[in-house]
Amino acid sequence: MMDSPDLVADIVTDVDEVFLFSPGQSLYDSFRAADERPVVVAPANDVGAESFVELPLSFRDVRDRIRFGVEGAMNAGITRTGETILAVLGVFDDGPDATVRVTVAESMQSGIYDLFVNSRAEPSVIRDVFEVSIELGQKGQKGNPVGALFVVGDAGKTMNNSRPLSYNPFEKSHVHVGDPIVDVMLKEFSRLDGAFVISDSGKIVSSYRYLEPSAEGVDIPKGLGARHMAAAAITRDTNAVAIVLSESDGLVRAFKSGELILKLDPEAY
């Protein structure tokens, strides 16, 4: 059995990059004082880091958080396949309480970073829709679980690939996701059938839409139903992303280019 000091030494030595996830100023300054140039992964670059990857969601799942940071750094040319990074992050608290040694692999480009940064819709809009979905998954409607489908971006093509199920209450409005009052409306309307269509900039274009893309050739994990199939199919046929709250298992899933990219448990947030 390896001695504890040897194990610690193996974890922290010979790393190519240190990734600090949402660090405080003092932690970042301590690394800079040691002549380190850490990569900061956080919602905002409050510490003035030279190498920074914006984190749109907190990603309670540690693997998703690290994969997002690594993928963003790979996309920016900060790190590359084969390098070793040391991730310093909070697992049980907001402050740093864990270190994870990771070897960067090509497979770490999972599409999570691409989902936010390289989609037609603005990253903040996708984040706002995730937040609505997560809160809806936590609370449901009047204590009961509900399902919901949000199609975000490429709204014109999405509308052409769908039809109305009922009157569209947003037809003449100019409201946007992220507004607290609008988010309450979205949660209320989610109990009814059909998808929400949201523009690149976050404008609510429609609710009650029945999506009509062809499902031929679309492959989704077993156990997922018609709502998830429609989400995958519409993202294959358009440049939209789709965020689905499952009524049956309560999980939030995101689709892009016909593929399942991300799965979140609202109860973990």
Shared domain check, 214 and 101: no
Shared domain check, 249 and 136: yes
Shared domain check, 84 and 198: no
pLDDT value, residue 8:
45
Residue where a domain stops, chosen among 110, 139, 158: 110
Shared domain check, 49 and 155: no
Count of domains observed in the chain: 2
Residue type at position 256: K
Contact 240, 154 (CB under 8 A): yes
> How far is 195 from 232, CA to CA, in rounded Å?
13
Around 172, how many Cα atoms within 13 Å sit in the side-chain half-sphere?
1
Contact 218, 225 (CB under 8 A): no
> How far is 228 from 77, CA to CA, in rounded Å?
34
Shared domain check, 186 and 103: no
Shared domain check, 180 and 48: no
Shared domain check, 173 and 97: no
pLDDT value, residue 142:
66
Shared domain check, 263 and 156: yes
CATH number of the domain that 222 lies in? 3.40.1700.10
Shared domain check, 256 and 145: yes
Shared domain check, 200 and 86: no
pLDDT value, residue 108:
81
The model's pTM = 0.81
Residue where a domain stops, chosen among 78, 110, 142: 110
Residues in the chain: 269
Q: Give average pLDDT by consecutive 10-residue segment, the chain, 269 residues.
A: 47 80 92 84 94 88 89 92 93 84 87 89 94 89 82 97 91 90 85 90 95 89 91 96 94 95 87
CATH number of the domain that 65 lies in? 3.40.1380.20
> How far is 209 from 166, CA to CA, in rounded Å?
8
Quick one: DSSP state of residue 203?
Answer: B
Shared domain check, 136 and 59: no
> How far is 102 from 67, CA to CA, in rounded Å?
10
Residue where a domain stops, chosen among 93, 110, 127: 110
Instruction: Show the domain range for 211.
Output: 119-268
Shared domain check, 262 and 201: yes
